[in-house]
Structure 1
Amino acid sequence: MPEKTPGDAGHGSFTERLYRAFHLSPAGRGWRHAGELELMQRSMGFAALGFLTLVPLLIVVAAADPANGRGFAEWLGDGLGVSKGAQQEVEQLFTKPRQALESTTAFGLAALAVFGLTFGSAVQTGYERVWELPPARWHTMWRHLVWVAMLIGYLFLSAHFTLEPESSGGVAETFWRFLVAVTSAVLFFWWSQRLLLGGRVGWGALLPGAVATVIGLLGLRVFSRLVFSPLIASNAVSYGPIGTVLVIQSWLVGVGVVVFGGSLVGRLLYEEGPRLLGRLRHRDR
C-alpha cells in the first residue's frame, strides 16, 4: 500500500477535526435529529394528508362564506404567492364554490373527518418525535379533531383578512395587515404544539418553534414566488392540470418541512441558546 504523505495526514486530521466540531455543535445535533425524525418522509406524508384533508374542506368552507364567496383557489394562490398567470392555472383545478356546496354529501364530509383525524395524528406524531416524547394515548384523539377545526377556522379568517378588496390604506395599512398576519400565525403554531403534545412541554419551550415556523413560512412564500410560480405556468403547458397539481404537492411538502423543521429548530434554540449565551458572556469576561 502507498504510504501517506505528511500533507495527506494533515488534510485528514483537519477533516476529522472539522467533522468532530460539527458533530458536537448545535447544528450537528439538529442534523442528526432531523435524520432520526425522517423529516423528508414525514413532510411527504404531511403533504399527502394535507391535500386530501384541507383542499376539499376549504373548498366547502369557501362555498359557505356569505361575505365574498371567494374560492379556495384564490386562497391557495395567495399562500403560494403566485403571479396572475399562474393563479389562473390554479383556479382551473378546483370546482366553483357554488358547485362544491351543492355536490357535498354527508358521506363525503364523514370521509373528510376521517382524513382530518389522520392528518392531525400525523402532525402530533411529528411534534412528539421532535421532543422525543412517547406517543399519546388513544383517548386523546379529540385533540386531532379540535386542531383540524381550528386550522380550518384560522385559514378561513386569514384568507378573508388578506383577500379583502384592494384598499388605499398605503404602507401603514400594509404593515398593519402584515403584523396581524404574523402575530396570529405565531399564536396558532404556538397553541398547536401545546394542544397536540397534550401539555407535556411548557409554553416557554414551544414559543421559539412557533416563531421559527412562521419565519420559515415567510421564506417559503418568497421561494414559491421565485420558483413555484413560473413552474406552474410551464408545467401547465407541458403536462396540463396534473403539472399544476405536482407543483402544489411540492409546495405542501415544503410546508411540512417548515412545520416540523421549525419545531426542531425551536427546540434547539430553547436548549442550546442559554448555553451559547453563557459561553459568550464567559469570553467577554
Structure 2
Amino acid sequence: MISHSAAGRGWRRGRELELGQRALGFAALGFLTLVPLLIIVAAADRHGQGFAQWLGQALGVSAASRKHVEKLFALPGQALQTTTAFGLAALAAFGLSFGSAVQTGYEKVWDLVPARWWATWRHLAWLCVFAGYVFVSATTRLLHKPPVGGVLASVSAVLFFWWSQRLLLGGRVRWSALLPGAVLTVAGLLGLRVFSRIVFTPLIASSTASYGPVGTVLILQSWLVGVGVVVFGGALVGRLLHEELPRVSGALRRRR
C-alpha cells in the first residue's frame, strides 16, 4: 500500500508540474492578449503616457529600464489610429482563450470538472472587467500616491482576484474559501515586484545591450511566466490553507 506521505508528495509533485505548464500557457496567451489589450486601454487615456508606463510600474523596474520597455510600444495616440477591425477580432479571440486558460487553471486547483461551452460568457465578462480594472488602476492618480495609494491598490487587487475566481468557477466554490487565494495572489505579485526590481532591472539593461529590443521582450515574457505562477500558485496555496488550517486548529485543541 502507498503511504499517505508518499501519496502527498506525489500529489504535490504533480501539482507543481501542472502549475508550471499552466504558467507557460498563461504567459503565451497573456502576451498575445494583454499587450494589445492594455495598449488600447491605456491609449483611451489621452492625458496618460500609454501602456509602456503602466507596464513599467507593474514590473517594478527602475526608471532606466522603463525606457527600454517604452521603446517597444507605439505612442498612445498611434495605438488607436492603427487599430483595425481584424486586430480587434484577433484580440477578442485571444482574449476569450486567455479567460478560458485562467478558468481551467482555477478548475484544476479546485479539482472541478470543466465548465460547459456556454460558460464562454464568463470569459468575456472577466475580460471586460479586467480591462476596466487596468484602466482605472492606470489613470487614477490617487493610486500612485503612497502610502494611501498602495493600500487602495492592494485592496482593489484582492477584490478583483477574489471576484475573478468566483466568476470563472461559476460559483461552485464558496466566497470564504476563495479569499485566502486572492490575498496570497496579491502578496505574491508584490513579492514579484521586489524580485523584478532586483533581478529584471539589470537583466533588461544587459539583454537589450546584447540582443536589442528582443532582449526586452524575453524579459517581459519571463515576467509573465512569473505572474502565471503567482496567480495559480496563490490560488493553490490558498486552497491548502483553507482546508488544512481547520484540521490543524482542531488537532491543537484536542491536544490541550
Q: Which bin holds the TM-score, normalised by the shorter protein?
A: over 0.9
Which amino acid counterpart does residue 149 of structure 2 have in structure 1? Answer: R
Query: Does 1:42 pair with 2:22?
Result: yes
Q: Tell me by how many angstroms 1:35 deviates.
A: 3.4
RMSD across aligned C-alpha pairs, in angstroms? 1.9
Say if 2:101 is the partner of 1:118: no
Distance 1:137 1:42, change over 3 A: same
Q: Distance in 2 between matches of 1:97 and 1:30?
A: 47
Amino acid across the alignment from 2:20: M
Residue type of the partner of 1:258? V
TM-score by length of structure 1 reads 0.85
- Tell me the percent identity: 66
Unaligned runs of 5+ in 2: none
1:156 is aligned to 2:135: yes
The answer to whether structure 1 residue 260 and structure 2 residue 240 are counterparts is: no
> What are structure 1's unaligned runs of at least 5 residues?
1-19, 166-172
Secondary structure of 1:143 counterpart: helix
- Secondary structure in 2 matching 1:174: coil
Runs (4+) of structure 1 exceeding 4 A deviation are: 20-25, 162-165
1:107: how far off? 1.3
| 1:201 and 2:182 matched | no
1:57 Cα deviation (Å)? 1.2
The reply to whether residue 143 of structure 1 matches residue 109 of structure 2 is no
1:228-269 superposed Cα distances (whole Å, 9 cap, x missing partner): 111001100011000000000000000000000000001000
Which residue of 178, 185, 189 maps to 1:213?
185
Which of 77, 82, 88 is matched with 1:103 structurally? 82
C-alpha contact (below 8 Å) 1:80/1:229 kept by paired residues: no
Q: Could you tell me which residue of structure 2 aligns to residue 17 of structure 1?
A: none
Residues in 2 aligned to 1:53 and 1:95: alpha-carbon distance in whole angstroms: 16
The counterpart of 2:205, out of the listed 233, 250, 257, is: 233
What CA deviation, in whole Å up to 9, does each residue of 1:14-69 have, x standing for no partner?
Answer: xxxxxx796477xx487245236x11111011011111111111111111213x23
How many equivalent residue pairs? 254
Q: Tell whether the 8 Å contact from 1:212 to 1:263 is kept in structure 2 after alignment.
A: yes
Q: Distance in 1 between the 2:176 and 2:182 partners?
A: 11
Q: Secondary structure at the match of 2:48?
A: coil
AA matched with 2:230? V
Task: Name the amino acid aligned to 1:88.
Answer: K
Note the C-alpha offset of 1:281: 2.5
Q: Is the 8 A contact 1:83 1:225 kept in 2?
A: yes
Q: State the Cα distance separating 1:116 from its structure 2 match.
A: 0.3
